[in-house]
Structure 1
């Protein structure tokens, strides 16, 4: 949430005091982003983190709460992610708040999705090298 609010503040004059106050009320789009960030990161980093002394993750909590396997917990958490996206899109489509902020919120969620969808690029950013190279280097 703090990173998203800082993103809003970085927009300068576009972001009013009312917009920040709105973001701090934890609307659906902000809640969705925080859920997506936490759950996607926990799904991606679960195995690696369990190899060391680490605090319980969302995956472990889900496993314990429902008495399910890792795979089943991840499937349940994917439903939570889908619901978070639907909530975000509802706020976006209702357009009750400044569109610039709503678009930034959606873009922020998409960035989290990119960083955590296939591998943990947030914790292991060196894995981004091939992707960034393909974006900026023209092959003959």
Structure 2
């Protein structure tokens, strides 16, 4: 959630300013929304649909990657331990 330029604001900073809460309270609220969204995704994935399962799996896997990269901050810009472990494990499964 770090910003790159002075005029850039992170989602956490915007939430803090809008609702007058601390950074920890903002993170907690974001995590509640994330958990709720995962429940929705999983529930919808289990419903019958005309969409082929492999297409749905790709979308679900993309969401999983985003969760790994951004759960503890901006893991794409600031590569952390979780992203490195994820990269290593996916490299091993491709061989």
1:82 and 2:35 correspond: yes
> RMSD in angstroms over aligned alpha carbons?
2.8
Larger Rg computed on CA atoms? 1
CA distance in structure 2 between the aligned counterparts of 1:116 and 1:84, rounded to whole angstroms: 15
How many angstroms apart in 1 are the aligned matches of 2:82 and 2:33? 27
Task: Write the mapping of 1:1-140 to structure 2, written as runs, cut at 5 A.
Answer: 45-46=1-2, 49=3, 52-96=5-49, 97-125=51-79, 131=85, 132=87, 136=92
Instruction: Please identify which structure carries the higher helix content.
Output: 1
Q: CA deviation at 1:80?
A: 1.1
Distance 1:130 1:89, change over 3 A: closer
CA distance in 1, matches of 2:83, 2:32: 31
Judged with a 3 Å threshold, the aligned counterparts in structure 2 of structure 1 residues 103 and 73 are, in CA distance, closer, same or farther, namely same
Could you tell me the TM-score, scaled by structure 2's length? 0.71
How much does 1:119 deviate?
5.0
Q: Which has the higher contact order (CA 8 A, sep 6+)?
A: 1
Matched pairs, number: 89
Q: Which segments of 5 or more consecutive residues in structure 2 lack a partner in the other structure?
A: none
- Alpha-carbon distance between aligned partners in 2 of 1:122 and 1:130, rounded to the nearest angstrom: 10
Secondary structure of 1:106's match? helix
For residues 67 and 23 of structure 2, the distance between their equivalents in structure 1, rounded to whole angstroms, comes to 20
How many Å apart are 1:117 and its aligned residue?
2.6
Distance across 1 between alignment mates of 2:23 and 2:84 = 30
